Structure 1
Amino acid sequence: MTRHECTMCNRWNNDSDLRIIPLKHSFVTLNRDQFFPGYVLLFTREHVTELFHLKPRMRGELMEEVSRMAQALQTAFQPDKINYELLGNMVPHMHWHLVPRFATDPLWPRPIWSEAHGELLLTPEEYQNRIELIRKALA
């Protein structure tokens, strides 16, 4: 798969309405489906598929970006747990699904992939409100 064909490489531009923050090694966007409130995607700026493809220093700095985002989601949404998913089977570009989880959500405590669910799409204003909530928690 070329960089041009990669949906993750193009996500920052294609989903510009969902942008949260550009970081040194990654970009962060709100996931369009907000069935799980605060669900974000953090994906590497560089088209890589595996953590071991990164030099140790960059890998460490990237993990700090993942941790910083998780902490912001904890502050913004006060979930019972943050789920970290790094798969890449369907989209071979390193990206994390950072998902605030609540004991009250319909799939608790199972993984978010354990059962199909309807997409929860928000209005443009609701997306922007969630994005601002996360940005405020990052500050």
Structure 2
Amino acid sequence: MNRFVLDPRLEKDSELVTTLGLCQLRLLKDSRWPWLMLIPQRADKTEIFQLTPLDQTMLTFEINLVAEALKTVTKARKINVGALGNIVSQLHVHIVARHEGDPNWPGPIWGHGSATPWADDAKQNFLTNLNEALAS
């Protein structure tokens, strides 16, 4: 059995927030959007349908858990959820809070401008609020 290894590009572009039952929850290093990513800790998976039925259920549960917490924390107009993988094929799911007037609203976030690093205090405040929302 192959062991789960995080793709180096995903690791470089994000930081670990916590580990849930199936997935790593990671924060993207781009403060323009509250942007999270779930990565199922399963080796050699590129598609959701490659997961076992139990893992598919767990992924759906974790997506909903994180999306609801993100909506609570950000009061976003819309939560975008997507598993694209055209550049990095390792299975990962983006969960992004969108607001009217954010960079490139209402267009997609991919390929728009350059990443803006999080200020330490803003990131810490966001993560504290997110963890509280996840726990409730």
Fold match, TM over 0.5?
A: yes
Q: Is the 8 A contact 1:20 1:134 kept in 2?
A: no
Instruction: Tell me the residue number matched to 1:21.
Output: 18
Instruction: Tell me the residue number matched to 2:51.
Output: 54
- Greater Cα shift, 52-61 or 65-74: 52-61
Instruction: Tell me the residue number matched to 1:134.
Output: 130
Point out where structure 1 has 5 or more consecutive residues left out of the alignment: none
Distance between the aligned counterparts of 1:101 and 1:44, measured in 2? 24
Quick one: which of 83, 87, 112 aligns to 1:86? 83
Poorly superposed stretches of 4+, deviation over 4 Å: 2-5
Question: Which gives a bigger RCO, structure 1 or 2 (Cα 8 Å, sep 6+)?
Answer: 1
- CA deviation digits over 1:69-103, x for unaligned, max 9? 00000000000000112011111111111100001
Give the superposition deviation at 1:31.
0.6
1:93-104, aligned counterparts within 5 Å?
93-104=90-101
Does residue 119 of the first structure (1) align with residue 115 of the second (2)? yes
Instruction: Tell me the residue number matched to 1:68.
Output: 65
Point out where structure 2 has 5 or more consecutive residues left out of the alignment: none
Distance between the aligned counterparts of 2:38 and 2:76, measured in 1? 18
Q: CA-atom RMSD, angstroms?
A: 2.3
Distance between the aligned counterparts of 1:138 and 1:129, measured in 2? 14
Aligned length: 132
Distance between the aligned counterparts of 1:126 and 1:89, measured in 2? 30
Distance between the aligned counterparts of 2:114 and 2:54, measured in 1? 40
Percent of pairs with identical residues: 30
Does residue 107 of the first structure (1) align with residue 104 of the second (2)? yes
Compute the TM-score of the two structures, normalised by the length of structure 1.
Answer: 0.84
- In structure 1, give the amino acid aligned to 2:98: R
